[in-house]
A and B are shown apart, each in its own frame.
Chain A
Amino acid sequence: GSYCLTCGSDKTLKLWNPHKGTALRTYQGHGYEVLDAAGSFDNSQICSGGADKAVALWDVTTGQVVRKYRGHAGNVNCVQFNEEATVIVSGSIDSTVRCWDCRSRRPDPIQVLDEAKDGISSVKLSAHEILTGSVDGRVRRYDLRTGQLCSDYIGSPITSVCFSKDGQCVLAASLDSTLRLLDKDTGELLGEYTGHRSTTYRLDCVLNEQDTHVGCASEDGHVYFWNLVEGSLALSLPVGQGVVQSLAFHPRLPCLLVATQGQVTLWREDTFQPE
């Protein structure tokens, strides 16, 4: 909520306070560009994955790498902590998702999910599910509780997936410039959102804090928001000239972080009061 992590091709991660715009800390240790980072629930740890094929676990306060997990055969595209920050789940272009144990000193992953036929572009976790989006055009949801793997075919390479806040739906952005909202249980299409441009880059999609709107970055320098139910374009936010690479929504407040062309911008209402 009150911190922001950026990672970039300068092989570092940076921790910011987005509300004040101050850089808090820099984390150095990756060998190549850092492709994704995530923080733990208690803000004590950071995990990151990069083009050096390694997943790193950082201690926030000391800035040191606590552990590095090597095992991916390709760039690590996405990393996520589970709810209790006991497991790091990382997806890579080697088409595997690997679950790393933070608790023990095991160098190899707990489990490798190698069902995908192509690179993993996005990984999200819920309390008992692992949601992966792959370039092979499938959204796979591994349900640990029921022991099932649901694979939904979208067709076009998936760039980003996310759960809705209520955990009932899955949002998937794909390279055919379409966002699709799928029912988690049945796989049925609940909504389709188009208008933006997403054909080459791995762009993020988000749901806002109340699940009322669906947002997605675009290659035309805008961030688009649609009404979730109606599917109508609600807002197109001109952010910059180039591709909007990443965006993240505040978990509870109407506040949006957008990363484009080496800068991160924070969007909020004038009356916004940070916690």
Chain B
Amino acid sequence: AVESSDSEEEDLVSYGSGLQPLQEGERIKKPVPLQEQTVKDAKGRYQRFHGAFTGGFSAGYFNTVGTKEGWTPSAFVSSRQKRADRTILGPEDFMDEEDLSEFGIAPKDITTTDDFASKAKDRIKEKARQIAGVVAPIPGTTAFDDLIGPSKITVGVELLRKMGWKEGQGIGPRVKRKPCRQKPDPTVKIYGCALPPGLSEDSEDEEDEYQPENVTFAPKDVMPVDLTPKDNVHGLGYKGLDPSQALFGVSGREHLNLFIGGSEETSKLLGDLRHSKGRKLGITGQAFGVGALEEEDDDIYATDTLSKYDTVLKDEEPGDGLYGWTAPKQYKSKKRPEREFKYVGKILDGFSLASKSSAPVKIYPPPSLPRNYRPVHYFRPVIIAGNENCYLQKALEESTGKLESDPAQQSRHALNAAQRREQLGETELKGPAPSILEYLSEKDRERLKEMKQACEQQVKAKIVSQQSPKDRFQPASPEDAAYKWRMLLGGQLANAGSSDFKPFAKNPEKQKRYENFVKSLKKGEKDTLERFLDPNMTEWERGREQEEFFRAAMFYRSSNSTLSSRFTRAKYEDDVDKVEVPRDQENDIDDKETAVKMKMFGKLTRDIFEWHPDKLLCKRFNVRDPYPDSSVVGLPKVKRDKYSVFNFLTMPEPTTSVTQATNEKIQESNSLNKPKKPSRWDVSDKEKEKKDYVSEFISLARSKADVHQQPPVPATEECGAGTSEPIPALVANEDKNQEEESGRPPMDLFKAIFVSSSDEKSSSSEEESDEEQQPTTSERESETTKQVDVPGSSSSNVQESVTATTDSGISSLPTSKQELDATEEFGPKLPPAFSSGRFCKHLDRKEKHRKIRERHKSKKERKRKKEKKKKHKKQKNKGKHKNKKPEKDSSSDTTDSSDSLSDMDTTGLSPEELLRR
């Protein structure tokens, strides 16, 4: 058995190289993935495969030349002794080595040149050229080639020529030509082998018919029979496709001709082409199609289209091909219907083509839109009937809605809160309707009410008769409106100062009209109103405008005097809802000032920002662009929603750390310069603790908000530490306590407190919130300078901080000056309706209310004290700042903050003190 197997193995033939035997424990090698298989040429250069159409391989290195670097520049050296000669680069300079080798595109091996070649003309070649001359787009061009080309004629030919021989003639005495012409049988198609071109020569010719008797011809040129031995296995007489013929002689049309009318042409093989028509040439019996060597293959696609073929088999109609457009009438009319319908398919049984075409479908074009059309649905404000202050509300709504003059230009900020709520589909708030009434004094309110009732009775009748109250755009008749509004406005119009308030600032003409209107209204002129309105306007417009004016005058009377002093012009356009805010801002200079005073320059006084110089500037300064791929110029800016709460919030850090920071700050400010005032803190401990939590918390939220807009400040703790050293044990103690405290109090507490502020309408609540506000803002401001790098993230805290800030928004509504200052720097005013609703949900906690009420009393007392204090401090601070030059926005902040600093130390101190007691 063994032997046999051996012998068997010997018999086997093995191909390829065997796999290497696997060793034990060795893992089977993974095959190289396809994308990593590379092809290298003989020189080790990488080659990339391309499509077959581009020749298989790319040229050079990844389609470039030579090296990875592409062109390698040659060093230019020229000296006096050795001048650099100008080298003219030929195509060979850009070729690879293998291109120059035997099989490359430019072989460089030794060949016989023409000088040494035999002088005999290559006839086949010549003929091919002549064929080309006929076929070529410009016939006869090849003749010129002959003229231009150098004559390389052997001596023998020259002699012959001198003896009268011409090319193409045979040699010998002139003969009379015999008319015997043997034509091959036209029906016979010859496929397969072609007759050698030389032999087919006598297969011509045409003009043999008339031959004068006495004319002699030169004998036919005899092509020597070539006696090449057959050394291949092709069939007898087979000749491969002659490149020269394929190149020049044949075009696509002839290929087709093969099939169509081949019979004649087959007989005429390449003959003496001087007389034959080149068009008739064809290749018979040879391979056909476009050869690899054939250049012009586009011809095929150009000539052979489907339209050339009949696609439908049908009986030839008798007269069909006979007549063109000149066909007799009968014939034409018969054909017409078919032509008209252009229906080619088969008509079903029982159906016939309609003689009448159906009426064309009428197309209604869409209506052209008016130029200022906005594709937004406009919700009409729905006024809740029976609401107490119906008129006022209406006035409010419409005035705010219309104040931007044209409804077309109304931005969405022009909507008031109620309208917005409606659009958002939110439920109405349970809280008190935010109306002006709240801000009016008790007396005013009553007076208004009376007036309203009076006018209601009077007007009602008219309204009912004249107009549907819902229709917003229906103008009241001028007298009516004037009357109505006069009633409403009453004598208070007298102080309706329109000088600084411009409700129609966007439309100067309208504003002018409005001002005139107000003036006249003040004087009490009734009919002059009409006069000021634009005479070009329609009645409807006038009526509307008048109403608008009334409302504007009415609305802004109330707010004008009290509020205008508090607000400045908007920094940003109102209708832009995104505001570009510099990402980094130079932060508070408050502590910097102290640093400067202490001459602690360096980290404390330095802010470093990312700054993007303009690309051109870098270029001009010959400096590389530090941020090559940023398109920002200057300080990077961030787009923010103008009204978003999140302007003021970032993801807060874990609360503890931040509270610590605040505490530290508190301590610091304590230790810095403020003495303690224990006498103020006589109120019950428990409450204070709570309150402090809250204020702390709010301050946290706010500080985060602020820090959000400010760059990370190099740690100021150093400063704090340095200053707090002199107070040794006390501070340390406090610190410990603080840390214990720093855990967050339960959520209920916040809710209870926040609820209270929105719940109570009375002035006491205002006071309370007011008081709450002060410490918080102050803490916040002082703290912002402290904050280091906020963007930590703990999602749980976000919610709470939101509530905290919103609450601060609420409490800032009541008009205490301090607060206004504080909120102003927050940016744009918060919409009033924003305040009340959110926290009303928690109203039902009754026990908390009781607590809070208790607190109010105590706080009132405190407040009074505090107010005094504050005044005092303010004066002090102002004195401090007086000698300073007025600075811009920032300076106002600093004064504020310094104000609040003084407050802060009183409030911020509380927990520590309490604990110590």
Name A residues whose Cβ lies closer than 8 Å to a Cβ of B.
82-84, 86-87, 99, 101, 103, 110-115, 117-118, 127-128, 135-138, 142-155, 157, 180, 182-183, 186-189, 192
A and B contact pairs by CB, cutoff 8 A, 17 listed: A86-B621, A87-B617, A99-B620, A110-B620, A111-B616, A118-B888, A127-B622, A128-B621, A137-B589, A142-B611, A145-B624, A148-B611, A149-B610, A150-B607, A180-B601, A183-B602, A192-B599
The one of B595, B616, B620, B627 in contact with A147, judged by C-beta atoms closer than 8 angstroms, is: B627
Docked Cα-Cα span, A32 to B621, in Å, equals 30
4 closest A-B pairs by CB: A147-B626, A189-B601, A149-B611, A187-B606
Please give the number of chain B residues whose Cβ is less than 8 angstroms from any Cβ of chain A in the complex. Answer: 40
Additional A-B contacts beyond A149-B635, A187-B605 (10; CB < 8 A) = A86-B621, A110-B616, A113-B634, A115-B634, A118-B888, A137-B589, A144-B626, A151-B606, A189-B602, A192-B599
Query: Which residues of the other chain, B, contact A187 by a CB distance below 8 angstroms?
Result: 601-603, 605-606
Give the CA-CA distance A192 to B598 in the complex, in Å: 13
A87–B618 CA distance with the chains assembled, in angstroms: 10
Do A111 and B633 have beta carbons less than 8 Å apart?
A: yes
Q: Is B608 an interface residue (CB 8 A)?
A: yes
Q: Are B593 and A155 in contact (CB under 8 A)?
A: yes
**CB of A85 to closest CB in B, whole Å:** 10
Most A Cβ at <10 Å: residue of B606, B624, B890:
B606
Q: Which residues of A contact B605 (CB under 8 A)?
A: 152-154, 187
Q: Is the CB of B606 within 8 A of A127?
A: no
Closest chain-B Cβ to A151's Cβ sits at a distance in Å of 5
Are B611 and A188 in contact, CB atoms less than 8 angstroms apart?
Answer: no
B634 & A111 in contact (Cβ 8 Å cutoff): yes
Does B586 interact with chain A (Cβ within 8 Å)? yes
Q: Does B887 contact A (CB under 8 A)?
A: yes
* B362 in contact (CB, < 8 A): no
Q: In the assembly, what is the distance between CA of A223 and CA of B689, in Å?
A: 61
Interface of chain B: mostly helix, strand, loop or mixed: loop
Per-position binary interface string of chain B over residues 586-600, scored 1 when its CB falls under 8 Å from any chain A CB and 0 otherwise: 100100110111011
Closest to B612 in A: A147
**Cross-chain contact A188 with B623 (CB below 8 angstroms):** no
Interface status of B331 (Cβ within 8 A of chain A):
no
Q: Does B86 contact A (CB under 8 A)?
A: no
Say whether B391 faces chain A, with CB atoms less than 8 Å apart: no
**Residues on B close to A: CB < 8 A?**
586, 589, 592-593, 595-597, 599-603, 605-614, 616-618, 620-624, 626-627, 633-635, 885, 887-890
Assess A111 versus B888: contact at CB under 8 Å? Given A153-B589, A154-B605, A182-B601. no
Closest A residue to B606 by beta carbon equals A187
CA A186 to CA B603, docked complex, whole Å: 7
Contact partners of A153 in chain B: CB under 8 A: 586, 589, 592-593, 595-596, 605-607
Q: Are A154 and B596 in contact (CB-based, < 8 A)? A: yes
Known: A111-B614, A136-B887. A101 touches B620 (CB 8 A): yes
B613:A87 contact, CB within 8 angstroms: no
Interface of A is mostly: loop
Partner of B635, one of A115, A143, A145: A115
Enumerate chain A residues within 8 angstroms of B603, measured Cβ to Cβ.
Answer: 186-187
Q: Which residues of B contact A183 (CB under 8 A)?
A: 602
Which chain A residues lie closer than 8 Å to B601 at the CB level? 152, 180, 182, 187-189
B604 CB, min distance to chain A CBs, angstroms:
8
A255 to B826, CA, bound (A): 54
Bound together, the chains give a CA A164 to CA B535 distance in angstroms of 72
Partner of B609, one of A117, A137, A151: A151
- Residues of B near A83 (CB, < 8 A) are 621-622
Interface centre among B609, B621, B633 (most CB of A within 10 A): B621
How far apart sit A136 and B888, CA to CA, in the bound complex (Å)?
9
CB distance B622 to A84 under 8 Å? yes
Residues of B within 8 A of A114 (CB): 634
Check B608 against A150 for contact (C-beta < 8 Å). Answer: yes
> What residues on A are CB-neighbors of B633 within 8 Å?
111
Cβ contacts under 8 Å, A143 to chain B: 611
Per the bound structure, the CA–CA distance linking A148 and B711 in Å amounts to: 14
Tell me how far the C-beta of A120 lies from the nearest C-beta in chain B, rounded to whole angstroms: 14
With A154-B596, A155-B593, A187-B603: A149-B887 Cβ-Cβ less than 8 Å: no
Contact of A144 (CB < 8 Å), options: B609, B621, B887: B621
Q: For the complex, give the distance between the alpha carbons of A150 and B611 in Å.
A: 9
- Partner among B595, B608, B885 whose Cβ is within 8 Å of the Cβ of A148: B608
Give the complex CA separation of A147 and B607 in angstroms: 14
How many angstroms between the C-alpha atoms of A112 and B635 in the bound complex? 11
Q: Is the CB of B607 within 8 A of A151?
A: yes
A163 to B620, CA, bound (A): 20
Q: How far is the CB of B603 from chain A (nearest CB, A)?
A: 7
A190 closest partner in B (C-beta):
B601
Cβ of B597: which chain A residues have Cβ within 8 Å of it? 155
Cross-chain contact B586 with A151 (CB below 8 angstroms): yes
When distances are taken between beta carbons in the complex, the residues of chain A under 8 Å from B595 are 153
Would you call A103 and B620 a contact (CB within 8 A)?
A: yes
Instruction: Say yes or no: B621 contacts A138, CB within 8 Å.
Output: no
Contacts of B623 in A (CB 8 A): 127-128, 144-145
Residue of B nearest to A146 (CB): B626
Q: Which residues of B contact A149 (CB under 8 A)?
A: 608-611, 635
